[in-house]
Amino acid sequence: MICWMYPGQPVAFTDTYNNDPEFQKIALLCQGATGFNPLESDTSAPSLTRSVRLQLHGVSVSLYRSGLLMSQGAGPDLIAGHSMGIYAALAASGSIDSGTALALTCRLGVAMAGMGEYALGCVIGLTSGPLVAIAANNGVYIANHNTSRHFLLAGGRKEVAAALAEATVSGAFSVNLFPCDAPLHTPLIEAIAGDLRRIVAEYRFSEPRIPLVEHIGQTTLAAATIPAFLVDELCRPVYWETTYRTLRSRGVTRFQEVGAGSVLTKFNRWIDSDT
């Protein structure tokens, strides 16, 4: 069985696909749906924050790569999305179209961008036990459980910085701070959950034609459960290690990362090395 994996927000813009006419079509679709053109990432739609533009860039690349693979007759048996990768994953499953995936990404991203100054903190080397205590000590949250020793913290910038300093003292061999618009995948998002639900309620979701496994409880999403999940997943952590192991247990033998970069492929290798 083959699973297509859709990564979340990339850390940087890339022009790798800009000369491809098919990517140019996606870029124009993105511009029409959101005002942002990924062919002009540094200058397009300056009213959008860098985080929102990165999210749109990532979804655009994923949609482009989905189309390329589909044109080669290489469709998947299952689909999985990590964080903001859920919107491109929904499009690939047939639940929504590409324009809707881009519009949802933008509208939800803009709604969260007004929350304040936050940060993500990448911690590599510690297990979850010590990190749970460090997060609690500093008033931040574990947002991504990517592998047994790769996590993202989220919260206020000063608090995340303090947590990273404590993680370093506790033995983490790599920590990095990334400023962001919103504390994704934490209970702090619940402060605007009503606004997010109203946005999602404006869209219609079809039954996925390809099973889509979500990253919280590893259930298969249906049209009726998608709207609630899209808000819930922003308020709760991403459990990628558990999701990957669940997909393996369901018979997946080949994973194809459909997006910018290869971060999920690297996570999978680290998880396999723990087995």
Res 103 pLDDT > 90: yes
Res 233 pLDDT > 80: yes
Domain CATH for 206: 3.40.366.10
Number of structural domains the chain divides into:
2
Tens of pLDDT, residue by residue over 161-178, are: 999 999 999 999 999 999
| Bridging pattern class, strands 78-81 and 2-6 | parallel
Same domain, 165 and 201: no
Tens of pLDDT, residue by residue over 111-146, are: 999 888 899 999 999 999 999 999 999 999 999 999
Same domain, 82 and 12: yes
Same domain, 9 and 138: no
The mean pLDDT of 90-95, rounded to a whole number, is 98
* Residue pair 156/118 in contact by the 8 Å Cβ criterion: yes
Going from the C-alpha of 106 to that of each of 9, 103, 150, 215, 270, the distances in angstroms are: 12, 5, 28, 21, 32
Same domain, 58 and 190: yes
Same domain, 110 and 27: yes
pLDDT in the model for residue 275 = 65
Q: Which residue type occupies 105?
A: T
The domain of 206 spans 2-114+186-274
State residue 121 phi and psi, 5-degree precision. Answer: -125, 120
The mean pLDDT of 194-219, rounded to a whole number, is 97
Domain CATH for 124: 3.30.70.250
Same domain, 27 and 101: yes
Same domain, 28 and 151: no
Same domain, 133 and 93: no
Q: Which residues contact 7 (CB under 8 A, 6 or more apart)?
A: 58, 62, 82, 83, 85, 257, 259, 260, 261, 263, 264
pLDDT in the model for residue 16 = 83
Res 231 pLDDT > 70: yes
Res 264 pLDDT > 90: yes
Same domain, 90 and 53: yes
Residue bearing tokens 């790798």: 16
Same domain, 15 and 150: no
Same domain, 103 and 131: no
pLDDT in the model for residue 215 = 96
DSSP collapsed to 3 states, the chain: CEEEEECCCCCCCCCCCCCCHHHHHHHHHHHHHHCCCHHHCCCCCCCCCHHHHHHHHHHHHHHHHHHHHHHCCCCCCEEEECHHHHHHHHHHHCCCCHHHHHHHHHHHHHHHHCCCCEEEEEEECCCHHHHHHHHHHHCCEEEEEEECCEEEEEEEHHHHHHHHHHHHHCCCCEEEEEEECCCCCCHHHHHHHHHHHHHHCCCCCCCCCCCEECCCCCCECCCCCHHHHHHHHHHCCEEHHHHHHHHHHCCCCEEEECCCCCHHHHHHHHHHHHC
* Residue pair 233/143 in contact by the 8 Å Cβ criterion: no
pLDDT in the model for residue 173 = 93
pLDDT in the model for residue 41 = 82
Tens of pLDDT, residue by residue over 39-78, are: 998 788 999 999 999 999 999 999 999 999 988 887 899 9
Query: Of 129, 148, 180, which closes a domain?
Result: 180
- What does pLDDT average to over the chain? 95
Tell me if the pTM is above 0.85.
yes
Percent of the chain with pLDDT over 90: 88
Distance CA 5, CA 244 (A): 10
Query: Of 180, 210, 233, which closes a domain?
Result: 180
Distance CA 253, CA 1 (A): 6
Distance CA 162, CA 176 (A): 12
* Residue pair 208/221 in contact by the 8 Å Cβ criterion: yes
Q: What does the block give as tokens for 107?
A: 């509208």
Same domain, 83 and 160: no
